[in-house]
Structure 1
Amino acid sequence: MTLSLKGQDRLIKRILETFTTIDLSSNRFTGNIPPCIGNLKILKYLNLSHNTLMGHIPSSLGNLSEIESLDFSTNKLDGEIPNELTRLTFLAKLNLSINNLVGKIPRSNQFSTFENDSYVGNLGLCGLPLIRKCKEDDGKSIQPAEEVDDENEFIDGFGWRCVVMGYGSGFIVGIGIGYMIIRSGRPRWLVEFFFGVGYKYKTKKKRNRAAPTCMGT
């Protein structure tokens, strides 16, 4: 590979261990990421984005103890994210978006600080910070603890039984009040609102029984 270093073209037959920055983005590189990159102990910035790289992310990259930025976005990388990368305590920027990565995203050390943008475009990835949940061995989805607690609180405190009882009680009380309003004809404006102006409720008149009279002889 021929690189331009300080204004001069230089033929590079192997990766120099003195490199602190490697930016080979936006080329047409194919094949796998060489595991020997893990030997670059003082490498701080590695950008291999916008190529056609395939295969797994080498676990040897966990030896890059000084690395601060990794960008492998827009390639065709597959497999899981190596747990060895969680050893990179100086890693401040990670971009693995738009690849074919699968599995659960590691969440220890620096990986707990990376947001959704670091992983978008990988349909096989799951777990935080993505919305997509991972599945346990028994096929059940792993839910965040906060969501589970909220669901249990709803079931224990304000479950569907309480809701049904509330609606049922309100329905019965409403019918009773409505009957009393129609029976008495008051308030008049409410009765006229539902039944029209001029509506009169006909009440049954009680018939007073005539007291028996004594017939004089």
Structure 2
Amino acid sequence: MYFESVANNSMKSSRIFPPTNIGEVQSYMISKQSFSLPRITKTDGEVTVAGAAVINGEHMQLQGYLNADETSGLNLIKGKAPDGVLEFKMGGDFVAYEIKSSKSTIRADVSDPKRIQFSIHIEMEGNVGEAQLSGNVMDTNQIAEIEQKTEEELSRLTTATINKLQREYKTDAIGLGVFLNQEHHAVWEQVKDVWDREANYFSRCEINIETKAKVILIGSAVETRS
């Protein structure tokens, strides 16, 4: 029942990693590609579907886990959070930004294969489904501030995920190696044997996050106070 809930609810929360079928896992194992799997935990009799397990491709070993926020960051980087919710505060007030569409684009500067520079651009549209803000929430300045705070939350989540994968796990669960293989194959052939193993070029590479968020609708649940 709980395994099934992963498939049913993964598109409803950015904090749940999407289900991965056996065929995909087999493909990862054959290619020795690092990957992540959804995590299901049981604490005090309560089962929680959140977070992700990180598997290193070299020895197919569990490197560790991403918490709910880090999993949200990973989903956002990979463009797999179309219906999640970002929750944050503006000046002490609560805002819930409902993601309606999300697109992630990767660019790479491979001039130095030992220190490849990646730029990941995340573009998002969503609704303000719930908020309690001072002033007029329909004011263009207020909307612009919500968009800015959403972008800051995107940066916070994704940066935390990248730091965990690069510095602690040294494992490319993002799929940057796959991107290099597809878009810069000659360079990938040079680095594939030391990408997230041995010399670990993945942990050395520079990853910059660029974010753009747009508010397209103010939900009916919004409450304002003066």
Task: Give the TM-score band, short-chain normalised.
Answer: under 0.3
Larger RCO: 1 or 2 (CA < 8 Å, sep 6+): 2
TM-score (norm 1): 0.21
Higher helix fraction (1 or 2)? 2
TM-score (norm 2): 0.21
